[in-house]
Amino acid sequence: MPARWETILARWQAASLIDAAAAERIRAFESRQGDSQRLRWPTILAITIGGLMLGAGVLLFVGAHWDRLSPAERFSTVLLLVAIFHVAGAFVEEKFPALATVLHGVGTASLGAGIFLAAQIFNLNEDWTGGVLLWAAGATVGFLLRRDWVQGTFMAILFPLWLAGKWTIIARPSASSERVLAEGLLLLAITYLTARVDGDAPPLRRALTWIGTVAFIPCVTFVVASNEFLWGRNYSLSAGKQILGWTVAIILPLFLAFLLRGAAAWTNAVACLWALILGTMHYRDSSYSASAIGYIYHEIGPFLWCLAGAIGLIAWGLRESRKERINLGLAGIGLTILWFYFSNVMDKLGRSESLIGFGIVFLLVGWLLERARRQLAARMAGRIQ
């Protein structure tokens, strides 16, 4: 999002109040001012750690004295916790915007604690997803008022948490419901991972990229492992709930990808197809692996398909010049090879042979991946130049 002075400058130039040369001089001056006032990493680190410690300390202090407080005092304390950080953030907004962002973030975190503490005070017998939804709504209000990346990050985490929790309640435990949940989380992680298209992205897109990067491999593991949850196979999911679940799991991440990436979201549709096919490979399920074709598809297929996905992620990163996708794809290749060794090779060898083989595989994979990473990084740098 452009700075406010850039919007005003563009309006003045459009109204012919200043010429192009004057506009360029103003932009150059403001750019120099921005560089001189930009926060350095020690300051950012100090503010971030300070905000986390402040929030944790206040919550621990309240928790230590909670039993001594009356219900009225408890509720007053909850309201005070929610309000005080937002008021402090508004007070320092003009002089120290970064500190204001942290204080408003702590205030939104306190809102979540306040919601669940209020439920405990008044003994509200409601499912926990309602509290998460209220928390997400509060973060949404904060985002609409401030356009703050911290509030946006709360939204990006809380709304999927509410949807996942609500799905586990309305859908009885079954292999179908677990697969819907796993696929939806994986597609959302891919959407977050690819939110950053160019190098100069807003802070919220960078935060979404970090969330997607951290969540991608665990979500892939969840999709593959969801087929091993045999305890719910006795239940079947109704057709209406399946339609509802798959609609939300597929359409919502793709719609969000379209909002973030525009026409470039067609690559997310391709990634969606890859994820859906991966979910059909019921790994370690003997009922699907009785025939030779079933064995290849369900026992060997997940490894090959994960390798294909990792290679596709690398190609995606090269196409859009994103290093994090290249590094994540290389990590996916290495983890897939190690997973195949542990599950299909290691148990067929003796103890010493398996350890020796693991060491050789580990060193060889690490060397090859680092070599490939350097070559791909050099290739991407050449394309950027």
Q: How confident is the model over 162-172, as pLDDT tens digits?
A: 999 999 888 86
Question: 101: closest CA among 212, 213, 203?
Answer: 203
Top-confidence residue, 343 or 311: 311
Top-confidence residue, 304 or 51: 304
Q: Read off the pTM.
A: 0.78
CA angle 42, 207, 318 (to 5 degrees): 105
Task: Find the range with the poorest average confidence among 4-8, 136-140, 274-278.
Answer: 4-8
d(CA 53, CA 47): 10
SS3 letters across 259-317:
HHHHHHHHHHHHHHHHHHHHHCCCCCCCCCCCCHHHHHHHHHHHHHHHHHHHHHHHHHH
pLDDT at 37: 47
Residue with tokens 């979540």: 112
Q: How many CB atoms sit inside 10 A of residue 317's CB?
A: 22
* Domain segments of the chain as ranges: 1-38, 40-170
pLDDT at 200: 62
Q: How confident is the model over 191-208, as pLDDT tens digits?
A: 999 998 766 678 889 899
pLDDT, mean over the chain: 79
- Which of 24-38, 68-82, 165-179 shows the highest mean pLDDT? 165-179
pLDDT at 353: 63
Q: How confident is the model over 31-46, as pLDDT tens digits?
A: 655 544 455 556 666 6
d(CA 181, CA 242): 11
Task: Find the range with the poorest average confidence among 81-85, 96-100, 352-356.
Answer: 352-356
Decide if pLDDT at 307 tops 60.
yes
Task: Find the range with the poorest average confidence among 42-56, 258-272, 290-304.
Answer: 42-56
Q: How confident is the model over 287-305, as pLDDT tens digits?
A: 555 566 766 777 788 888 9
Q: In this structure, are residues 228 and 150 in contact, taking their beta carbons and an 8 Å threshold?
A: no
Decide if pLDDT at 383 tops 60.
no
What tokens were used for 115? Answer: 């919601």
